[in-house]
Amino acid sequence: MGVTHILFFVIAAAAPLTAIVGAAPLAYSIGNGAGAPMGYVIAGLIYLLFSVGFTAMSRHVGSAGAFYAFVSKGLGSRWALAAGAMTLLTYYAIQIAIYAFFGIVIAGLLEPLGLPLPWWAAALICVILVDLCGRRQIEFSGWILGICMLCEIVVLMVLNLLILAQGGPEGISATSFLPSVGFSAGIGVSLLFAVASFLGFEATVIFAEEAKRPRRTIPMATYLAVICITLFYAFSAWCMVIAYGPSNIRDAATADSSDLFVNTAHALGGSLLSTTMSALLVTSLFACILSFHNTISRYLFAGGREAVLPKALAQVHPHFGSTHTANRVQSLSVALIIGLCALFRIDPYATVYSFMAALSALGVLSVQILVGISILRYFARTPHDTTLWQRVIAPVAALIGLVIVLLLALSNLPMLTGATNVAVILLLPAAVIGTGLMGWGYAVYLSRRDPARYDALGTSFLSIAGASHD
Minimum mean pLDDT among 133-147, 214-228, 255-269: which range? 133-147
Q: Is the model's pLDDT at 469 over the cut of 70?
A: no
Residue 154 maps to a domain:
yes
Q: For residue 463, what pLDDT is reported?
A: 32
Q: Is the model's pLDDT at 144 over the cut of 70?
A: no
CB atoms within 10 A of CB 436: 23
* Alpha carbon separation from 92 to 293, 335, 345, 408 (Å, rounded): 9, 12, 20, 23
Residue 413 maps to a domain:
yes
User: CA-CA distance, 391 to 385, in Å (whole number)?
Assistant: 10
Spatial contact of 307 and 453, defined as CB atoms under 8 Å apart: yes
Residue 41, φ and ψ in degrees, nearest 5? -65, -45
Give the mean pLDDT of the chain: 84
Q: For residue 223, what pLDDT is reported?
A: 87
Query: Which residue type is seen at 137?
Result: Q
User: CA-CA distance, 247 to 295, in Å (whole number)?
Assistant: 41
The residue segments making up the domain with residue 27 are: 3-459
pLDDT tens digits, one per residue of 268-316: 999 899 889 888 888 888 878 887 888 788 778 878 887 788 888 888 8
Minimum mean pLDDT among 6-15, 99-108, 114-123, 439-448: which range? 6-15
Q: For residue 399, what pLDDT is reported?
A: 96
| Higher local confidence (pLDDT), 199 or 159 | 159
Confidence tier at 19 by pLDDT (50, 70, 90): confident
* Alpha carbon separation from 19 to 201, 221, 281, 424 (Å, rounded): 14, 20, 10, 26
Q: Is the model's pLDDT at 441 over the cut of 90?
A: yes
Confidence tier at 431 by pLDDT (50, 70, 90): very high
Residue 372 maps to a domain:
yes
Helix (H) or strand (E) holding 212: none
Find residue 462's DSSP bridge partners: 62
Q: What is the arithmetic mean of pLDDT over 70-89?
A: 90
Confidence tier at 228 by pLDDT (50, 70, 90): confident
Split into its structural domains, the chain has a count of: 1
Residue 377 maps to a domain:
yes
Q: What is the arithmetic mean of pLDDT over 254-266?
A: 85
pLDDT tens digits, one per residue of 360-417: 888 989 999 999 999 999 999 988 888 999 999 999 999 999 999 899 888 878 876 7
Q: For residue 318, what pLDDT is reported?
A: 66
Q: Which residues contact 455 (CB under 8 A, 6 or more apart)?
A: none
Confidence tier at 454 by pLDDT (50, 70, 90): confident
Q: What is the arithmetic mean of pLDDT over 242-246?
A: 95
Query: Which residue type is seen at 276?
Result: T
Residue 464 maps to a domain:
no
3-class DSSP state for residue 467?
coil
Q: For residue 247, what pLDDT is reported?
A: 93
User: CA-CA distance, 339 to 54, in Å (whole number)?
Assistant: 38
CA dihedral 399, 97, 435, 358 (to 10 degrees): 50
Spatial contact of 44 and 226, defined as CB atoms under 8 Å apart: yes
Instruction: Please tell me the pTM assigned to this model.
Output: 0.84
Confidence tier at 35 by pLDDT (50, 70, 90): very high
Residue 466 maps to a domain:
no
User: CA-CA distance, 58 to 54, in Å (whole number)?
Assistant: 6
User: Could you write out the DSSP letters of every residue in 233-289?
Assistant: HHHHHHHHHHHH-TTTHHHHHHHSTTTHHHHHHHHHHHHHHHHHHHHHHHHHHHHHH
| Higher local confidence (pLDDT), 290 or 261 | 261
| Higher local confidence (pLDDT), 230 or 144 | 230
pLDDT tens digits, one per residue of 98-130: 999 899 889 888 888 888 899 999 999 999 999
Rg, C-alpha atoms of the chain: 22
Confidence tier at 470 by pLDDT (50, 70, 90): very low
User: CA-CA distance, 394 to 373, in Å (whole number)?
Assistant: 12
Residue 468 maps to a domain:
no
Residue 10 maps to a domain:
yes
351: domain CATH number? 1.20.1740.10
* Alpha carbon separation from 437 to 25, 102, 114, 149, 440 (Å, rounded): 37, 32, 49, 37, 5
User: CA-CA distance, 158 to 407, in Å (whole number)?
Assistant: 37
Spatial contact of 212 and 62, defined as CB atoms under 8 Å apart: no
Q: What is the arithmetic mean of pLDDT over 422-440?
A: 92
User: Could you write out the DSSP letters of every residue in 66-89?
Assistant: THHHHHHHHH-HHHHHHHHHHHHH
Find residue 62's DSSP bridge partners: 462
- Pick from 435, 454, 432: nearest CA to 444: 454
